[in-house]
Amino acid sequence: MHFNYTKYILIVFPAAILCGRASFAQDTITNSAIDKVLSVVETVTGNGNFIDNLSPDSNIALPFGIRKQIGAVRYIVAIDSCKFKPAGAYFNAYAAIDFPGTTKKLAFEAANIKFNPKGVVGGNQARLLLVSEHTIRINNLVSLKLKKDGSNWIEWDCNGYKAINLTGYFVFNKAKLVPDSTQTKDTVVTASFHIYTTDLHDFVTQVSITPFAIRDLKNWTFKATDASVDMSELINPPGMIFPPGYSNPNMLTPQMWSGFYLKSIKIKLPSEISKVGKRTEITASNLLIDNMGVTGLFQINNFLTLDEGSMSGWDYSIDELGVGFLCNKLNSGHLKGKVNIPVMDSSQSLVYTADVYHNPTSKEADYHFVINPANNIKFNVFSAQVNLSNTSVITVEKSKGLFKPTAVLNGYMSFNHKNFNSNGGQLLFQDLTFVTHGPYYVTKGIFTLHNIGNQTKTANYPASVNDISFGFNTGAPIMTFSVSINLSDNANSGLSVGTAVSLKGKIEAKPINYKDEIAVSYTKTKWKFDKIVINGFSLGVTTSVFTLTGNVLFLDNDPMYGDGFFGHILFSIDKVLPTPASVTARFGAVSTYRYYYVDAAIPTNIPLGSSPITLTKIMGGLYYHMKPLNASQTELINASKAQPVNPANALTYSPDINTHLGFKAGVSFKYTPNEKSANGDVMLEVAFTQSGGLSFVKLDGNIYFMSEPHEQNKSSVTGSVAIQYDVPKKAFDADAAIKVNAHGGKLTGNGFAKVHIDPAIWYVCIGKPSAQNTVNLLNLVNAQTYFMAGNSIEPALAPPPQVASILSQSALAANRNETQLQGGSGFCAGASLSASINEEFGFSFFTVYGNYNFGLGFDMMMIDYGPNGYCSGNSNEKIGLNGMLATGGMYLYMQGSVGVKGDIHFLPECNCKRRLCACSDFNFKVFELGVAAIVTGKLPKPLYFSGQFGCNYEILGLVKGNFNFDYDY
């Protein structure tokens, strides 16, 4: 650019003086700087004061503009203000550029641009820089932000505008798009860009977009790997493809589209349609973000195999996944694939289709599945062939990021195993419902037998099915058939066996946990056949002569009994042995030792000579390494009757390594004239040590009065006795007990007696102070007694509270001679009697009540001083009664009271209104009296006693008091 320097000065300077703009420096630049740029450009445009290029021959007043036409757009660089300094001449330049697709302008300026007669001095100092940070609202979805940091500028020369350079970012509305918090810490979604172009209306450039999610769609996240921004109304990004059916009412031509084109994008799917363990990320193409939001349509095939997908443990695949987004909404989608029910073969599966739609309530993707067999299909389970009907239906619900399927199956199965063969018979099932959560995976179902004309076989024996059950044992599915097996070639033979054949499955479970932002965990399950188990059998033989019934149960790795079997047989002969004989046995092994027991009970009718006693049963047994749990054979027989139900609850012996060989023998008996008067049983038991020596001998028995033998639990009076001698400990124990409950509970009582003798301790107790023998009559009178002798007996009890509340002395003086007790020269005894009466009578407005309590008791010790016991000071008079002297104490109490209570609201002086008055209720005692006495002493020779007597009284609440005195004789 060459022009006359002097001439140029003449043109510019006067104008500068007239405009008063000799200096362009400003203290601050705010948005008013944008207004200034727009004002200068508008002035130039309004005055039409343009030149096509800046040259020495230009003759135009300030301000003026250099215009340049690029395509359909005219770019103007406005020149304003000039000044002269010793170092040279300077002027200011401005530009206001329309931003495509908006009515907003970008404002640029440059101050103190140096020029000379040769033209504008070039370089960065001549660039027009953005005057302030710009925020431009493009549409409802996005805004543009450009910063005043020197990265946004216009390049120009004497011919005017050359190019524009922009660096900034777009900010998306939080109401539409939000950042994916698993991939970024940004609080808003942005799209950063840089563009250098000669025509801003060709604004198409690459952008980097924050990983984002659609605001109202949870668990779908997007990460663009190849994205462009298109702000041009003239061109589109290279290779851009609109989604099928895409329509935008603001476009006259496709080139007018503006927005963000995501040519390649990674989409992280929700956990329910992802591979197990982690949300799956897929790659999609041609997603658009424009003023209406996110729009796109993608489909992917064969990305999830049966092993990779799981519906809460059920294998499933996604052979085809298609999803459509329109205007920031998930508006269409579909799934196609296969699902495998855990009971099916891995090679068998059902085809499904599902619609995908947006659930506005949960703000998640939801699904509508259609799953049912197109035709009848076959597969194997539990060693059975299953034919599944096409009426079977599977429904799927989504909950907490998981598919929860439920299968309702119809069809039939047949069995062909060496241990169980249905031989053409069919087991029909209807509404057999499988769910995905345990411990019970099958919630209902109906089983029926069909086409059983051909004989079912179990272990090659003809069998008939009586019952079918399906359930779970320790988490494993089991189908059990109750069958009857004919062990004879003759189908009409009376010899048959009943057993239960169990087809046992196992559930292989693999825990799965999602490791990323969605906390989802479940167990992937597969049902497989484990084994066929025959737990035992029941035996039945019925002829015209005899009947035999019984059962044998097999145990395999039982937690208590290990491996072994239990058997129980009842045998009866018509007119000879009408009451069945019983034999019970168990053999087995636990850990490192073996065990067994055998018991038998044979009914009989043997009179014992001329006595009125008849033996009704003979019992006996042998055991080894088993601990007896029941005291009598009656308990054993009763328990064994329940044995087929649950062996762990019914057995009367349990394995015990410390118990060695032992045997039991006994009889049941009755009172011959009337067995209801008295009957019972007695048992002798002998046990041996490991070395073969004697361990203990025990005799025990029970007697029942006023009850039939089969109703012993209803007996009015029952008694029991147990006598045992422990050889290694040299200890003898004898226990006896009696219980009375007669006349409908009007007479009750209980008592016990015990004898214990060992090298260190001996005692005899018939009751004791803490557990006395008791008789109660009509709940009014209660009598208690005890008798004790030995070197380890209980002390006397303190007097009851009725005595202690009146007298200061709190206990009877026992005055026991421990030396005489331990030597066997004395004994202790005690008794008490108490009674109480509470009565009341009255009228409609008052009641008279009274109560009375009485008690009497003693504790004494009787000492035998022998033939050499004489009174002190009189050598010819023996102590006590033939040397027997009693010492101890007794107590007595009586309490009584009479009172009146009622309601006198009707009296005029009470001034009652609506039954509310201060004097309406009363309760006062007429009198109350309590008397107590304690006596301690010795008798008969010498005879002396001492004690206390006390009394408390209260009369009409006005006179009250107490007195007590001591006495000595």
- Picking from 124, 97, 80, the residue whose alpha carbon sits closest to that of residue 34 is 97
| Cα–Cα distances in angstroms (integers) from residue 126 to residues 62, 161, 785, in the given order | 18, 12, 125
Q: Residue 173 — pLDDT band, cuts 50, 70, 90?
A: very high
Q: What digits encode the pLDDT tens for the residues 483-511?
A: 666 555 445 545 566 666 676 767 666 66
pTM of the model: 0.51
Q: What digits encode the pLDDT tens for the residues 753-789?
A: 887 878 878 778 888 888 888 887 777 778 888 888 7
DSSP assigned state of 780: T
Name the more confident of 441 and 138.
138
In sign, the C-alpha dihedral spanning 311, 313, 319, 324 is positive
Determine how many CB atoms are found less than 10 A away from the CB of residue 904: 15
Q: Say if strands 329-340 and 350-359 run parallel, antiparallel, or are unpaired.
A: antiparallel
Identify whether the C-beta of residue 128 lies closer than 8 Å to the C-beta of residue 108.
yes
pLDDT surpasses 70 at 949: yes
Q: What digits encode the pLDDT tens for the residues 414-464?
A: 776 655 666 666 777 788 887 776 555 676 666 666 545 455 555 455 566
What confidence score (pLDDT) does residue 456 get? Answer: 57
Identify whether the C-beta of residue 664 lies closer than 8 Å to the C-beta of residue 574.
no
Q: Tabulate helix, strand, coil % of the chain (nearest 5).
A: 10, 60, 35
Lowest mean pLDDT among 16-20, 103-107, 954-958: 16-20
Phi, psi of 550 (to 5 degrees): 180, -175
Name the more confident of 696 and 409.
409
User: Over the chain, what is the mean pLDDT?
Assistant: 76
What is the residue type of 592? Answer: T
What confidence score (pLDDT) does residue 12 get? Answer: 33
Q: Give dist(CA 300, CA 108) in Å, integer.
A: 48
pLDDT surpasses 60 at 968: yes
- Picking from 679, 683, 657, the residue whose alpha carbon sits closest to that of residue 670 is 679
Q: Say if strands 773-777 and 747-757 run parallel, antiparallel, or are unpaired.
A: antiparallel
pLDDT surpasses 60 at 966: yes
Q: What digits encode the pLDDT tens for the residues 252-264?
A: 788 888 999 999 9
What confidence score (pLDDT) does residue 262 get? Answer: 95
Q: What digits encode the pLDDT tens for the residues 876-900?
A: 677 766 667 778 888 888 888 888 8
Structure tokens belonging to residue 14:
């006067």
Q: Residue 21 — pLDDT band, cuts 50, 70, 90?
A: very low
- Picking from 50, 46, 106, the residue whose alpha carbon sits closest to that of residue 78 is 50
Name the more confident of 961 and 86.
961
If you search the block for the tokens 């493009």, which residue do you land on? 138
Name the more confident of 946 and 34.
34
State the DSSP H helix or E strand holding residue 299, giving kind and residue range, or none if neither.
strand 293-311
Identify whether the C-beta of residue 485 lies closer than 8 Å to the C-beta of residue 493.
no
In sign, the C-alpha dihedral spanning 465, 467, 470, 473 is negative
Q: Give dist(CA 603, CA 710) in Å, integer.
A: 14
What confidence score (pLDDT) does residue 319 get? Answer: 94
If you search the block for the tokens 């009914």, which residue do you land on? 603
Partners of residue 300 on adjacent β-strands: 321
Q: Residue 468 — pLDDT band, cuts 50, 70, 90?
A: low
Structure tokens belonging to residue 668:
């049941």
| Cα–Cα distances in angstroms (integers) from residue 423 to residues 378, 463, 492, in the given order | 18, 11, 20
DSSP assigned state of 882: T
Q: Say if strands 944-955 and 959-968 run parallel, antiparallel, or are unpaired.
A: antiparallel
Name the more confident of 690 and 131.
131
DSSP assigned state of 611: S
Q: Give dist(CA 782, CA 802) in Å, integer.
A: 16
pLDDT surpasses 80 at 665: no
Structure tokens belonging to residue 232:
């041009």
Using CB atoms within 10 A of its CB, is residue 249 exposed (0-12), middle (13-18) or buried (19+)? exposed
Identify whether the C-beta of residue 271 lies closer than 8 Å to the C-beta of residue 218.
no
pLDDT surpasses 80 at 140: yes
Identify whether the C-beta of residue 64 lies closer than 8 Å to the C-beta of residue 78.
yes
| Cα–Cα distances in angstroms (integers) from residue 350 to residues 29, 404, 700, in the given order | 71, 16, 69
Q: Residue 646 — pLDDT band, cuts 50, 70, 90?
A: very low
My answer on whether omega of the bond before 940 falls inside 30° of 0, hence cis, is yes
Name the more confident of 703 and 272.
272
State the DSSP H helix or E strand holding residue 810, giving kind and residue range, or none if neither.
none
Determine how many CB atoms are found less than 10 A away from the CB of residue 704: 25
DSSP assigned state of 677: T
Average confidence (pLDDT) over 205-227: 94
Q: Residue 217 — pLDDT band, cuts 50, 70, 90?
A: very high
- Picking from 308, 320, 386, the residue whose alpha carbon sits closest to that of residue 348 is 386
Q: Give dist(CA 160, CA 200) in Å, integer.
A: 15
Using CB atoms within 10 A of its CB, is residue 933 exposed (0-12), middle (13-18) or buried (19+)? buried
| Cα–Cα distances in angstroms (integers) from residue 483 to residues 184, 298, 453, in the given order | 66, 59, 15
What confidence score (pLDDT) does residue 512 get? Answer: 58
- Picking from 157, 151, 152, 85, the residue whose alpha carbon sits closest to that of residue 121 is 157
Identify whether the C-beta of residue 663 lies closer than 8 Å to the C-beta of residue 599.
no
| Cα–Cα distances in angstroms (integers) from residue 629 to residues 632, 653, 849, in the given order | 9, 5, 54
Name the more confident of 96 and 342.
96
Q: Residue 10 — pLDDT band, cuts 50, 70, 90?
A: very low
Strands (E), 608-677: 613-624, 626-628, 653-655, 662-671
What confidence score (pLDDT) does residue 450 get? Answer: 55
Q: What digits encode the pLDDT tens for the residues 332-363?
A: 999 999 988 877 766 678 889 999 999 999 99
> How far, in whole angstroms, is CA 474 from its chain's centroid?
17
Determine how many CB atoms are found less than 10 A away from the CB of residue 737: 16
- CA-based angle 239:243:247, to the nearest 5? 115
pLDDT surpasses 70 at 525: no
Name the more confident of 833 and 528.
833
Length of the chain: 969
Name the more confident of 665 and 379.
665
Q: Three-state SS for 732?
A: strand
378-387, 394-403, 873-882: which is most confident:
394-403
- CA-based angle 460:462:464, to the nearest 5? 130
198-207, 499-508, 759-768, 913-922: which is most confident:
198-207
Q: Three-state SS for 141?
A: coil
